[in-house]
Amino acid sequence: MNDDTAHDDSANDDLGFSTRAIHAGQEFDPTTGAVVPPIYMTSTFVQDGIGGFRGGYEYARGGNPTRDSLQTLLASLEGGKHAYSFASGLAAEDTLLRAVLTPGSHIVMGNDVYGGTHRLVNRVHVPWGVSLSTVDMSDLDAVRAAIDPATTKILWVETPSNPLMKISDVAALATIAKEHGVLVVVDNTFASPYLQQPLALGADVVVHSTTKYIGGHSDVLGGALVMNDDALAEKVGFLQFAVGAISSPMDAWLTVRGIKTLAVRADRHSSNALAIAEALVGHPKLDAVYYPGLETHPGHDIAAKQMTAFGGMLSVALSGGSAAARTFAESTTLFQLAESLGGVESLIGYPSEMTHASVRGTELEVPDNVVRLSVGIENVDDLLADVLQSLDRL
């Protein structure tokens, strides 16, 4: 087992984000000079005598050079010391929860998060003996009231949130949590490390579905955890090895490939989404446009403070209710009806029956007139025309 998952790329620490995205952990192959490091498609490694591991590698569940290169890269981009790459975002989340929680532990979660995250805690960990409270993370007094100093172990923050694009003040929440010794976990999937740096804002752990903006091409599943705490990292590393929810070499390589263009993609995602959001404000067939880049958004000032741009995700509430929302979601052409987000292509979804179906009947239930758009990097005029023609059909 290779336990060395610490970020050791100090030569790149002073370089800009876009430079690190291409070079951190990506040294050329010393044997052939190949600019792109090879994919190590192997399940095991020859030992130089019993226990004589070459480079610390023994068996691919414990460590693989391709996965390690991705982990080095992720740690660099998030400004963390340790990074772990998993088979999916939920696998990463589950491993973190197992590392921190025990029966009797309490977790405080935002009241607008990815439905799968809530399902994981509510239907897997709660029956195991964990308790869960959900609050509006923008209400700091409500967060304080929800924390039980004796049992609360995690404050789970998602900002911007999925799908209502709520913004949480990570620095303020970290201050509150640290008063009670509570771990702050930030799901940074919607923002990506290019737009937001939760560890620098005071968070303890960053979680990603790398399937989304980090991979960026809708062709690979993955998840990640990034942190600075050595003791927590050791627990996470052990559980990853013991349980085995690792990313494969090919998945790790594809994720690295995607990361190299993250900065330029995120710039285009953000500019396209802002243009569409601004164009939709006041549309007669919409009750609301949820996008933190709009100055009217209640979290705009905080988002502007802790993000470098506002991302590619936006949601709209249709004035015609669920029937209008369903028709709208099924009428676009360039925006393809599908689960997921963050790819170069634009996607549209109906959260109440797709990504958030599992939270119907809970306090996280998504209004049935809400449609979520993942704005891609296509020509913005084409995307806007597609949205408008679909609204015209209502």
3-state SS, 72-117, equals HHHHHHHCCCEEEEECCHHHHHHHHHHHHCCCCCEEEEECCCCHHH
Give me the amino acid identity at 352. Answer: S
187 included as an active-site residue: yes
Q: Which of 9, 187, 251, 386 is catalytic?
A: 187
Residue 309: CB atoms within 10 Å? 20
212 included as an active-site residue: yes
Among 149-163, 187-201, 353-367, which is the least confidently predicted range? 353-367
pLDDT on residue 9: 57
pLDDT at 2 over 90: no
Q: Which of 20, 67, 166, 212 is catalytic?
A: 212
Q: Which of 40, 59, 61, 81 is catalytic?
A: 61
3-class SS of residue 365: coil
**Summary mean pLDDT of the chain:** 95
Mean pLDDT of 328-356: 95
pLDDT on residue 163: 95
What percent of the chain has a predicted confidence (pLDDT) above 90? 92
Q: Which of 57, 68, 84, 114 is catalytic?
A: 114
pLDDT on residue 358: 84
Q: Which residues pair with 185 in a beta bridge?
A: 156, 205
114 included as an active-site residue: yes
pLDDT on residue 1: 40
Which tokens sit at 15? 């370089």
124 falls in which pLDDT band (50, 70, 90)?
Answer: very high
pLDDT on residue 8: 54
